[in-house]
Amino acid sequence: LSLEILQEGYVSSFIELFELFDQQAQLRENAGSDSGVHEVPLLIDQHDKLDVLKSKLIEAEEARRSGAPDNSYQSYLELAQYFEKFPSDQWLIDHFHEKCMSESSKVEEDGGRKLAEANYNIGIALEKRGDLSSAVDYLEKFYNLTTEQEWQDKIGDNLHDIASLQLYRTYTCLAEELYEEAPSVSIDYLKKAFH
C-alpha cells in the first residue's frame, strides 16, 4: 500500500504514512511492555484503516497541490472523525486535528471559521481525555474567534452560542475539579463561567 502511494506520485502522503508508523512505534516503546498499548494491533497491520488513510491523505495532498487548503482541511477532519470510532486511536485523532489546525491557518476566504473550528475540535478532544486546563485554552480561542460572527453549524446553531455553552461547561467542571486543592482558582473559573 505504501509503495502504491509512492508509485502514484504522492510523496507527501507516503512520508506522512511512514511518520505515523514511526510515531506509533515510539508510543509503544515509551509506554513499556506492560502497557495495554501493546494489545492494539499496529496500524501497518490494519488494512481497512490503511485504505481510509491512503484515500484521505491523497485527497489532502491533491488539495494542497491545487492551492485548496480548505479541501485539505476537510480531508484531515474526516480522518480525525473516522478514528473517533476507535478509542485506542486517540493519537491519530490528535494528529489529524493538529493537521487541521495547520491547514486552517492557510484558508483565507472564510474569515477564520476553519481556524475557529480547529480550536474547538482540539478543545473537545482534550476535554474528553480529561485535560480540562488545556481544553480551556483552545475553547477560549474558539469563543474569541466566533465573537460577532454569524457562523452556524450543520443544524443551524450559532457557533458563538456553542462556544459560550461549551466554555460554561468546561469552566464549571474545572472549578469542581480544583475546588479542594485550589479554592481561589476554582472560584475564578466559576466567575468566568457565569460572566
Higher pLDDT, 125 or 33: 125
Ranking 5-14, 72-81, 116-125 by mean pLDDT, the lowest is 5-14
* Average pLDDT of every residue of the chain: 93
Q: What is the pLDDT of residue 175?
A: 94
**pLDDT tens-place string over residues 130-162:** 999 999 999 999 999 999 999 999 999 999 999
Higher pLDDT, 88 or 32: 88
CB 146 within 8 A of CB 160: yes
Q: What is the pLDDT of residue 36?
A: 79
Q: What is the pLDDT of residue 2?
A: 67
Q: What is the pLDDT of residue 100?
A: 98
Q: What is the pLDDT of residue 10?
A: 87
Calculate mean pLDDT across residues 21-28. Answer: 93
Calculate mean pLDDT across residues 75-88. Answer: 96
Calculate mean pLDDT across residues 109-132. Answer: 96
Calculate mean pLDDT across residues 72-100. Answer: 96
Higher pLDDT, 33 or 113: 113
Q: What is the pLDDT of residue 182?
A: 92
